[in-house]
Structure 1
Amino acid sequence: MNLIDKTFADLKAAGRTALMPFVTMGDPDIKTSIAIIQTLEKSGADMIELGVPYSDPLADGPVIQRASERALSNNQITIVDCIQIAEDARTSGVKIPFILFTYFNPVFQFGLEAFFELIQRKGISGLIIPDLPMEEDEEVRALAEAANIHLIPLVAPTSKERVARISSKAKGFVYCVSSLGVTGVRADFHKGIDEFLNTVREATDLPICIGFGISNHEQVERFGKVCDGVIVGSAIVRTIEDAIPLLQDESNREAGLKKIGDFVAELKG
């Protein structure tokens, strides 16, 4: 069984909603990314999205763009480095599922078959490629299924009649985009968000998760009542950004990690 499926089944049995942080790999450096993943699990994360830094993102807002720029300029991090971080975190004892978030070009340049063989060996359970449309994902989907990697689709309030078609091909869960536009902290969400979530729920038996703009415990709690999982990205990446001076000072490193962990625990409630 894929670890994502097992985790959702365990959470459902416990009457709990998944908290899924997103972090940019290599920000501020590879060693610290491993420590941050460990901290997220200890602080209550149920799954983690591992973001591959990319120079031309379509879905990322300014906070995650800055994180990608730091990772690319300071560490020249590659998609292979990001996958190795996952393996190193797993070797260190982290048990929760990892979901790789990447754009299609790095995957294509690496080679599709070699890519799926690698992430299967390195302990990746799911894959999100936001710029790969459903109409063009047949080869990727076949390779993902053969490797028991869940290819997780994004659906947005503007998807409308495509919701059922996209959801019917989903594996693991359906990622519901809460707002129009790119990622980023928000106070308000699409005014038809609850109707949209109901539409997605009716289209699939899979868990549904919501992301884009969720940044505090009140929002996690609000959407946790109607979704199976809540994804928090920019707010966590910004917390990491604020903690970088501590994280890069060996004498204050634990204080920086504690700052990140305390925020995740606060989200969890």
Structure 2
Amino acid sequence: MSGEIAKAFARARSRAEGVLVGYAMAGDPNIERSVEVFAALVEGGADIVEVGVAFSDPIADGPVIQAASERALRAGATLRRVLDEVIPPLRQRFPETPLVIMTYVNVVLALGEARYAKLARERGVAGTILPDLPPEESESLRATFDAEGLDLIPLCAPTTSAARAQAIAKDARGFVYCVSVAGVTGMRAELPPDLSERLELVRRVSPVPVVAGFGISNEEQARTLASHADGVVVGSALVRAANADGPAAAKRLCADIKRGLKR
């Protein structure tokens, strides 16, 4: 395993903070501009950067990220271009910030599992999230990633049973991404009342940190979750801010949410 992600969580713990995983779409609205958006997330306080790679059928994504995906595809943001033109400049500017690719299985398979894992680690990627990869089918890919020191980060859905959550957590690398709401990504006015209970259940059995994602968009929601999870993922709200008002707006939102994660 890369160890970089574990170090990011340890640094946040030493400052008595939850980890902020900030997501944006690579290539939205073009490659160069998206690098500035990712940089703004780190400058705003993101501890880990989740680099979205566009796919034509993004089943887990809501309207904001779907639109970002379409803009990125129009801009020619392939996985190979992201690895060659987005990851290296970010790695150079922020050598301690783990970079995690978030995309879909077909995108990785098209490049080749082993080739992707090798290229990703060479460029400086710490981990990968594949929301459409069922845990039962992840063993081979996880072994390929392990061989290169690349973390395959699993997701745990709101509908996942306690026994299944335990099985997912047991094989987790990097962190467990707990999906906070049923459905797709996007901002929510309210989070489910049983979310804290579900997070605690996964945390009890997980050997790696647990973060909550989907629906989290402001400081207050982050504060609510800070005592039940090791961190939060924020995506749609940051993508919307960057698209509407530029990187500086995403940076400000990161700073607001990070305040909510102070313990």
Do Structure 1 and Structure 2 share a fold, with TM-score over 0.5? Answer: yes
Note the alpha carbon deviations across 1:13-46, whole angstroms, 9 max, x for none. Answer: 2221101111011001111111112111111110
C-alpha separation between the residues in 2 aligned to 1:23 and 1:240? 9
**Alignment partner, residue 162 of structure 1:** 164
1:101 aligns with 2:91: no
1:208 and 2:210 are equivalent in the alignment: yes
Residues in 2 aligned to 1:57 and 1:259: alpha-carbon distance in whole angstroms:
25
Q: CA deviation at 1:188?
A: 1.8
In structure 2, what is the Cα distance between the partners aligned to 1:199 and 1:95? 30
Q: Which residue of 2 aligns with 1:265?
A: 255
The residue that corresponds to 1:219 in the other structure is 221
1:109 CA drift (Å) = 0.9
Q: CA deviation at 1:93?
A: 4.1
Q: CA deviation at 1:222?
A: 1.1
Paired amino acid for 1:267: I
In the TM superposition, what is the alpha-carbon distance from 1:151 to its structure 2 partner?
0.6
- Percent identical residues: 40
1:175 — aligned with what?
177
Which digits, 9 at most, give the CA deviation of each residue in 1:26-83, with x for residues without a partner? 001111111112111111110110001111011000000000001112x121011122
Matched residue type, 2:184: V
Distance in 1, matches of 2:249 and 2:177, equals 28
User: RMSD between aligned alpha carbons?
Assistant: 1.2
User: 2:69 is matched with which residue?
Assistant: 68
Query: In terms of Rg, which structure is larger?
Result: 1
Partner of 1:136: 137
Q: Secondary structure at the match of 1:22?
A: strand
CA contact (8 A) 1:52 1:79 kept: yes
Q: Using the TM superposition, name which of 8-17 and 122-131 deviates more.
A: 8-17
Q: Which stretches in structure 2 are left out of the alignment for 5+ residues?
A: none
Cα separation, 2, equivalents of 1:94 and 1:25: 18
Q: Which runs of 5+ in 1 are unaligned?
A: 244-255
Aligned length: 256
Answer whether contact 1:27 1:70 (CA < 8 A) is retained: yes
**Within-5 A mapping of 1:45-124:** 45-73=46-74, 75-84=75-84, 85-124=86-125
AA partner of residue 229 (structure 2): C
2:235 match: 233
Letter in structure 1 aligned against 2:52: G
Q: Which runs of 4+ in 1 moved over 4 A?
A: none
Secondary structure at the counterpart of residue 11 of structure 2: helix
Of 20-29 and 183-192, the range deviating more from structure 2: 183-192
Query: Does the CA-based 8 Å contact 1:180-1:190 persist in structure 2?
Result: no
The one-letter amino acid of 1:268's match is K
The whole-number CA distance in structure 1 between the counterparts of 2:72 and 2:127 is: 22
Alpha-carbon distance, 1:242 to partner: 0.7
